[in-house]
Structure 1
Amino acid sequence: MTTLVTGATGNTGRHVVAELVRRGEPVRALTRNPATAAGGLPAGVEVLAGTHTEPEGLDAALAGATRLHITVTAGLAEVGPELVRRAVDAGVRRITVLWGGFVGPVEQAVADSGVEWTRLEPQEFMSNTLTWAESVRTEGVVREPYDFPSALVHEADIAAVAAAALLDDGHAGRAYNLTGPEPLTPRERIAVLARTTGRDIAFVPITHEQALDRLIATGVSRADAEYVVGWYAAPSADSTTVVDTVERVTGRPARTFAQWATEHADRFR
């Protein structure tokens, strides 16, 4: 049996591929640029050109696949239900979907698909911290509008839960809230990074509007920017409350932010 992983070179997708390979599962990795992706993926992975936002071109990728991992990304809401329909028609019988922050058209299509599904609901990725990397390297500062805690989860732990849901029984119909082992504010994360990298890093407050403008300047729509910055302005109880889902599903404790920082320290030096 084969698993097709969409977004296979993304922050989480590459970890899903690696975890499935570690568990002995044949994997097809879907990426826009196979030539550059192949070197960063485990040996033996079948790398295919394509994107899940163009499901009409994925018949060959879906042929013979019995499991599918979907990462909800920008542009997928409109075509995601078509991707799910084509996957089920092709013979996929188990789907994991990494949500986009709420239950939208893709997440609902997966739930209504008629096959086994599991929804992964991480509150915030530890890899979001990489947005600080350039300002830390060049200026030794982090600029954020708010300093509220977040129970960030390591992207490799998201992948480990995804692999368990794809390969093991007992996860069908579940929506898994995923967090790390502790809630941390930006200032607390900065302190961890400073210790790990051995350099001074300052927290510089900015306004809500400045945070919006910063995101919009990267090409994000104003509506999406307001959603993201608003999430930080008024974090939900789910985003700050630690749950033990990672440990219950994988059998080991969730990775800490200190572990993540050690793995990525060179990106901030």
Structure 2
Amino acid sequence: MFVVTGATGNVGGHVVRELADAGAEVVALTRDPGAARLPEGVRAARTDELPLAGATGLFLNPAVVWQLGADRLLARAKESGVRRIVLLSSSSVLDAGPDNPIGTRHLELERAIKGSGLEWTFVRPGAFAANALQWAAQIKAGDVVYGPYANAHTAPIHEADMGAVAARALLDDALAGQAPVLSGPESLTFSDQVRIIGEALGRPLRYEELPREVARERMLGGGHMTPDVADSLLTMFARYVGHPAEISPETERVTGRPGRTFARWARDHVAAFR
């Protein structure tokens, strides 16, 4: 049996579907089991109840770990007989340090899992294609997206590919003790991504670059981002300007098929921008 945290989220939902399609027994943890729309045969349970008895594998969304506490969750996993943990980590761990709080937090979590003595796999994606959803309100309101560093390159990865790799790490032993870094199949600037979303919508869109300080103010305006995270992201984007992102072969190596393109992601999510 496999337990999936964040089971109705962008990545967790795909992990659940991949495992269910493989015929595995799955328990999907969510804050509201009654509202969860899950594949047939998948059982929903409350995240805070942590029903791990009988589970051999556990998929961890880091947001859930930070909410419940890593020590508590890992102790419960060991007591329940869980054998393997698959963590949705981040490629930012490769550049962890004082100026990279995102990478540092993920690295600390990886170290805690290694220290637990359980088997582990760390799935380390770079930029999520789903980060583009932050532009949805602007696209619904007009034809221009405003943001920092128009020519910063990333290789955004479809959440379905992250879910496929994570499910494979749970289902067999091939990825035990590995930490595959994942990317999408192409390097794109923010301007490219906005243009591609426009193509999916059937109307022209463009990205207009904001000065760094103006972009920072907007990032902090909603209260959902701390100053250190905003500064870290802006510094990272500045480094990416004019430098095509490295493309990882890991998605194809693990799943046996090429990663989904950003154009595919835009078509899959076109309703979010209308």
Could you state the TM-score of these two structures normalised by the residue count of structure 1?
A: 0.89
Opposite residue 180 of structure 1, the aligned amino acid is G
Identity level (%): 41
Opposite residue 50 of structure 1, the aligned amino acid is T
Equivalent in the alignment of 1:267: 272
Whether the aligned pair in 1 keeps the contact of 2:158 and 2:265 (CA below 8 Å) is: yes
Name the SS for the 1:199 alignment partner.
Answer: coil
Whether the aligned pair in 2 keeps the contact of 1:154 and 1:180 (CA below 8 Å) is: yes
Equivalent in the alignment of 1:224: 229
2:76 corresponds to 1:76: no
Structure 2's unaligned 5+ residue stretches are 93-102
Comparing 132-141 with 71-80, greater Cα deviation is found at 71-80
Structure 1's unaligned 5+ residue stretches are 52-56
Name the SS for the 2:56 alignment partner.
Answer: strand
Equivalent in the alignment of 2:174: 170
CA distance in 1, matches of 2:45, 2:67: 22
Please, which of 239, 253, 258 is the counterpart of residue 263 of structure 2? 258
Could you state the TM-score of these two structures normalised by the residue count of structure 2?
A: 0.88
RMSD over equivalenced CA pairs, Å: 2.2
Note the alpha carbon deviations across 1:179-212, whole angstroms, 9 max, x for none: 1111100111122112111112121111222222
CA distance in 2, matches of 1:115, 1:123: 25
Matches within 5 A, 1:1-269: 2-37=1-36, 39=37, 41-51=38-48, 57-58=49-50, 61-73=51-63, 76=66, 79-100=69-90, 101=92, 102=103, 103-146=106-149, 147-219=151-223, 220-235=225-240, 240-269=245-274
Q: Structure 1 segments of 4 or more deviating over 6 A? A: none
| TM-aligned CA deviation for residue 99 of structure 1 | 1.0
Comparing 79-88 with 246-255, greater Cα deviation is found at 79-88
Whether the aligned pair in 1 keeps the contact of 2:195 and 2:206 (CA below 8 Å) is: no
Opposite residue 73 of structure 2, the aligned amino acid is L
Note the alpha carbon deviations across 1:111-149, whole angstroms, 9 max, x for none: 222222110110011111111111001122211111211
CA distance in 1, matches of 2:132, 2:215: 15
Whether the aligned pair in 2 keeps the contact of 1:81 and 1:105 (CA below 8 Å) is: no
Name the SS for the 1:15 alignment partner.
Answer: helix
Note the alpha carbon deviations across 1:86-124, whole angstroms, 9 max, x for none: 212211101100115434322111122222211011001
